[in-house]
């Protein structure tokens, strides 16, 4: 029995040796092998020539992690421009799958420290921390955006503890916040302007004498003294003087009722031809440049009646409709609007409003404004730029496309326990660096609900601030400051000597919120869908893509 068992065991050992020598059994699965990665197919979009009128000649992916912009003319402001939030990068595949509309408007996919969880229209936006973020993770697991149009309401929410930070403290509440040990005030530098707009294609503002009369009929100092908070000042120029060359040239007209009446008489208005009733359009949305829109509108109405005998009818418009009408130059009468600095260069104020590509709001452009702006924008040296901005500012004063009223001081406020709290002079607060120890959720309350979250096609600050938590541009601005840094998805960049070629090198290993990897084609696509009006993804919320024309001029393939 033992002998037979030993014999069987010997046969089993021999069989196993033979199997080992011959390789695995036929039923065993072969070892898995990875499929070779698909070769990177670099995108490039190029204008046939620069005759189309824009500033961009070509955008190309040099390789998987390198993007190059070739310009039609030198542009020293490119680093500051590409850090702006309308140029946040999203996956090219996502842009294509959404068709430039739909889900894209409410659910951006970026590389930022926060991701969109839910947007409850009319109530709140909830963000959740991106645990795969390439940089320092957000301090709070959850970020919530809420909104309220009244500054008193926002302050009450902060005092009650239901929110952790608020935007645009009311002019009368600065001292209230300062005197509350549980709160802290963060004033912003007044890098903004509020103005009274006029469109020169509508009578009676098609007459330059009329526009000059109105420029001298409004007591701007009275408006600032009555309705603006500390840190505000009457605007001597459209651009704040803190911006280099912003205040080159002559200061604005003094308040002079007699001169204003004389100009209206020269324009043909008097007892036998009374001035017509006009409208004053505005939206009831608080901004740093306009802290109390309704009372300012009413004061202008009263001043024009008292000083010129002009009857003004106030027209309060829905915010989105108002912005669309202002941008397209379809508002008759007067209108109240303003601008906050997106980046600290004079082109961000003057070119964004008065260049040939951007003048639509005010009607027909003036060559002595547009030509000087075009020449000044191509120079890097501020001293060399000064004569052009002096001439442009003087021409703006002469033609009066608008009346600059105020540079508005404003502030954010937070609970005193918030770590990392700040107020950006560019209104680009980054909430990933803020938090309260032991608290998982951070709640921010701003003036209004975002219009959409596809910020390539939005211009309002509430939308842009929300996007800035989710999508990242190539570069970034210093937190709480204005300097341009390599804090975006590009880790370095360089330019040609003549400032017409700018090359950006992307961080490697960065992923989007959907798990896809960032590459140069994502950058190209995110830019091209804005630049090329013929691109099937050039849709967005309104399809206006206003910021592109502010930053880089005319669209490629613009409709004629």
**The pLDDT of residue 17 is above 50:** no
Percent of the chain topping pLDDT 70: 93
H-helix or E-strand containing 79? helix 78-82
Nearest to residue 447, comparing CAs of 223, 283, 224? 283
Band (pLDDT 50/70/90 cuts) for residue 26 is: very low
Band (pLDDT 50/70/90 cuts) for residue 24 is: very low
Q: What is the mean pLDDT of the chain?
A: 92
**Residue 287, pLDDT score:** 87
Task: Kindly provide the residue ranges of all beta strands, DSSP E only, lying in 154-292, ordered along the sequence.
Answer: 165-166, 183-188, 192-198, 233-234, 278-283
Stretch 457-467: mean pLDDT: 94
Nearest to residue 505, comparing CAs of 534, 526, 474, 541? 474
| Lookup: tokens for 376 | 């000044």
Stretch 110-130: mean pLDDT: 98
Phi-psi region of 117 (alpha: psi -120 to 50; beta: other; left: phi over 0): alpha
**Residue 35, pLDDT score:** 57
Choose the weakest-confidence range: 124-138, 204-218, 545-559: 545-559
Residue 314: how many CA atoms within 13 Å on its side-chain side? 17
Band (pLDDT 50/70/90 cuts) for residue 76 is: very high
Stretch 406-432: mean pLDDT: 96
With tokens 């009374």, the residue in question is: 274
Q: Cα(412)–Cα(177) distance, rounded to whole angstroms? A: 10
Kindly report, residue by residue over 363-373, the tens digit of the pLDDT: 999 999 999 99
Give 420: exposed, middle or buried? Use CB within 10 Å, 0-12, 13-18, 19+.
Answer: middle
> Which range, 335-344, 358-367, 505-514, is most confident?
505-514
Stretch 283-290: mean pLDDT: 90
**The pLDDT of residue 538 is above 90:** yes
Kindly report, residue by residue over 142-169, the tens digit of the pLDDT: 999 999 989 999 999 999 999 999 999 9
Band (pLDDT 50/70/90 cuts) for residue 18 is: very low
**The pLDDT of residue 399 is above 60:** yes
**Residue 39, pLDDT score:** 85
**What domains lie within the chain, and their CATH numbers?**
39-111+471-560 (no CATH), 113-188+410-450 (3.40.190.10), 192-407 (3.10.105.10)
Q: Cα(162)–Cα(171) distance, rounded to whole angstroms? A: 22
More confident residue, 553 or 305: 305
Nearest to residue 413, comparing CAs of 139, 179, 126? 179
Kindly report, residue by residue over 219-250, the tens digit of the pLDDT: 999 999 999 999 999 999 999 999 999 999 99
**The pLDDT of residue 36 is above 90:** no
Band (pLDDT 50/70/90 cuts) for residue 34 is: low
**The pLDDT of residue 292 is above 70:** yes
């Amino acid at each position: 029995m033992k002998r037979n068992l030993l014999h069987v065991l010997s046969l089993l050992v021999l069989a196993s040796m033979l199997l080992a020598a011959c390789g695995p059994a036929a039923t065993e699965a072969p070892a898995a092998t990875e499929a070779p990665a698909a070769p990177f197919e670099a995108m490039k979009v190029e204008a046939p020539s620069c005759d189309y009128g824009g500033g961009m000649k070509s955008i190309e992916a040099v390789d998987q992690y390198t993007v190059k912009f070739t310009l039609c003319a030198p542009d020293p402001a490119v680093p500051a421009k590409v850090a702006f939030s309308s140029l946040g990068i999203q996956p090219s595949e996502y842009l294509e799958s959404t068709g430039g509309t739909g889900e894209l408007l409410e659910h951006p996919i970026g590389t930022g420290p926060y991701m969109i969880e839910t947007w409850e229209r009319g109530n709140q936006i909830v963000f959740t921390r991106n645990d795969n973020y390439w940089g320092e993770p957000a301090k709070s697991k959850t970020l919530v955006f809420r909104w309220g149009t009244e500054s008193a309401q926002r302050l009450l929410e902060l005092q009650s503890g239901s929110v952790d930070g608020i935007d645009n403290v009311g002019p009368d509440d600065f001292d209230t916040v300062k005197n509350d040990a549980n709160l802290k005030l963060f004033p912003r530098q007044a890098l903004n302007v509020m103005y009274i707009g006029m469109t020169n294609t509508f009578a009676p503002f098609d007459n330059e004498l009329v526009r000059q009369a109105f420029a001298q009929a409004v007591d701007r100092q009275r408006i600032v003294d009555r309705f603006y908070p500390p840190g505000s000042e009457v605007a001597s120029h459209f651009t704040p003087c803190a911006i280099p060359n912003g205040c080159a040239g002559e200061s604005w007209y003094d308040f002079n009722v007699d001169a204003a009446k004389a100009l209206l008489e020269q324009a043909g208005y008097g007892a036998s031809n009374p001035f017509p009733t006009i409208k004053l359009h505005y939206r009831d949305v608080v901004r740093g440049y306009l802290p109390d829109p309704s009372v300012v509108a009413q004061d202008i109405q009263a001043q024009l009646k008292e000083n010129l005998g002009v009857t003004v009818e106030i027209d309060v418009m829905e915010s989105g409709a108002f912005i669309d009408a202002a941008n397209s130059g379809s508002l008759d009468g007067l209108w109240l609007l303003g601008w906050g600095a997106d980046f600290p260069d004079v082109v961000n104020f003057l070119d964004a409003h008065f260049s040939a590509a951007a003048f639509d709001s005010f009607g027909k452009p003036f060559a002595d404004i547009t030509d000087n702006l075009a020449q000044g924008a191509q120079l890097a040296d501020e001293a060399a730029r000064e004569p052009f901005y002096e001439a442009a500012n003087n021409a703006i004063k002469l033609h009066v496309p608008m009346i600059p009223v105020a540079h508005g001081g404003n502030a954010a406020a937070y609970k005193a326990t918030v770590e990392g709290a700040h107020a950006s002079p560019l209104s680009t607060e980054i909430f990933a660096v803020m938090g309260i120890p032991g608290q998982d959720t951070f709640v921010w309350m701003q003036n209004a609900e975002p219009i959409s979250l596809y910020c390539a096609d939005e211009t309002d600050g509430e939308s842009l601030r929300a996007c800035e938590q989710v999508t990242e541009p190539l570069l970034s601005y210093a937190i709480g400051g204005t300097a341009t840094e390599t804090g975006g998805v590009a880790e370095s960049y360089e330019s040609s000597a003549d400032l017409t070629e700018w090359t950006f090198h992307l961080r490697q290993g960065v992923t989007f919120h959907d798990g896809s990897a960032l590459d140069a084609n994502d950058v190209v696509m995110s830019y091209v869908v804005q630049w090329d009006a013929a691109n099937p993804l050039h849709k967005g919320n309104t399809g206006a893509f206003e910021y592109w024309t502010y930053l880089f001029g005319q669209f490629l393939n613009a409709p004629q």
